[in-house]
Amino acid sequence: IEGGSHLFEGEEKVSFLPALVRRPLDVTGVGDAITATLALALAAGGSLEEAAKLANYAGAIVACKKGLTTASSSELRASLREGKAFFRRMLGE
């Protein structure tokens, strides 16, 4: 999550998704959360960009927690609604 994620479709760069959390509490499981959310969103019919955005938020949620954890659907909804304020609150900033 350092810096963000570059999204490619084949050889072409589609977009850049900036990191939502500057100082993660713990990065354990962030990649797993991103991969699982991306796969689930694509399987549910989302576009690559929609799936990547959702996965970026899921990874940021996990980065705000200690240890191996998950991003719940209610946390995903709240983070999408509130944006960076959600993550600042989770980290106590």
- Ranges of beta strands (E only) in 1-93 are 4-9, 12-18
The C-alpha atoms of residue 37 and residue 59 are separated, in whole angstroms, by: 9
SS3 66: coil
Can you give the pTM of this predicted structure?
A: 0.90
The C-alpha atoms of residue 56 and residue 21 are separated, in whole angstroms, by: 10
- Quote the mean pLDDT of the chain: 93
Active site residue 26: no
Token pair belonging to 60: 């940021």
For 44-71, what is each residue's pLDDT tens digit? 999 999 999 999 999 999 999 999 999 9
Q: Which of 32, 70, 76, 91 is catalytic?
A: 32
Instruction: Provide the pLDDT for residue 2.
Output: 59
Question: Is residue 1 predicted with pLDDT exceeding 60?
Answer: no
Q: What angle (nearest 5°) sits at the alpha carbon of residue 66, between those of residues 37 and 83?
A: 55
